[in-house]
Amino acid sequence: MMITGKTKVLAVIGNPVAHSLSPVFHNAAIRKAGIDYVYTAFPVDNNRLGEAIAGMKAMGISGLNVTIPHKEQVMKYLDHIDKDAEILGAVNTIVNRAGVLTGYNTDVKGFLSGMRQIGYAPKGKRALLLGAGGAARAIIWGLIQEGVASLTIGVRNVPKVRPLVDYFRKYMEISLLDWSTPAFDEALGQAQLLVNATPLGMYPHVDAMPPVNWDKVPKGILAYDIIYTPAETLFLKTAKDHGCHTLNGENMLVGQGAEALRLWTGIEPDIQVMTEALRHALENK
């Protein structure tokens, strides 16, 4: 596809951002849809974020993804904030509509999209979340919106995570447990959905995983790891060997990207094309 003066520009901003795979799978979807857009990456220094957003308006950039460390700080430069982004306190997608900038957070829809793609519905299920890392807020809010029957969070440091749990308790009662206790083992025995939101097992530390007593985990439940490098973490391999269904973070990453493309362009992106482009890029890294 030829880039001309009419081509609309999309990009990801962050610091650093050269490692981002977003251009790979977004441009694959853009080519497949045959629309006149291009997606690139702009490194933005921490102290120049306001200038970057003013530049977005000045140059008519159609949309931006926002990654670390700008997701929270960028909110003050925008005209409107979507409800999900407001509740999560972070924006990862900006849409420019005739100079009016609206901030969204597509992580929730990305997390849920992962399960939807394999035909799994969390509604009415007993969910157990391991860890409270960067993606935990989106996961908690997504599970609340989907209507899980119960939500338990197992962590290493309960006092540190309590403010996060208290924040969401107005929407749903949430149990917060130390994952080294018998009470956590008991919760494992009741779980129907087990989600790893810790970085344990992510490349290069592939021999790590959360401390799960697999003897307590019911067979046949879904084990969902939001990590996608490696494609099969030790957590997922162990879960599969135990008899669980498994899902990695690949669908979540592609799902949040697909939602951003819907917001920017109005198209229904080809998820399969995006996933294949991501896999190819990961294999060749």
Catalytically active residues are 71
Alpha helices of 169-270 — where are they, by DSSP H? Answer: 182-190, 234-242, 250-265
Beta strand 222-225 pairing with 245-247? parallel
β-strands 63-66, 8-14 pairing: parallel
DSSP structural state of residue 71? T
Q: Give every CB contact of residue 226 below 8 A, 6+ residues apart in sequence.
A: 111, 135, 139, 195, 196, 197, 248, 249, 252
Distance CA 224, CA 76 (A): 34
d(CA 242, CA 223): 10
**Which residues make Cβ contacts (< 8 Å) with residue 272, sequence separation at least 6?**
none
Tokens standing for 97?
A: 């509509």
| Helix and strand element counts for the chain (H, E) | 10, 12
- Tokens at residue 46, please? 């921490």
Are the C-beta atoms of 255 and 275 separated by less than 8 Å? no
SS3 87: helix
Q: Say if CB 235 and CB 205 are below 8 A apart.
A: no
Q: Residue 199, preceding bond cis, omega within 30 degrees?
A: no
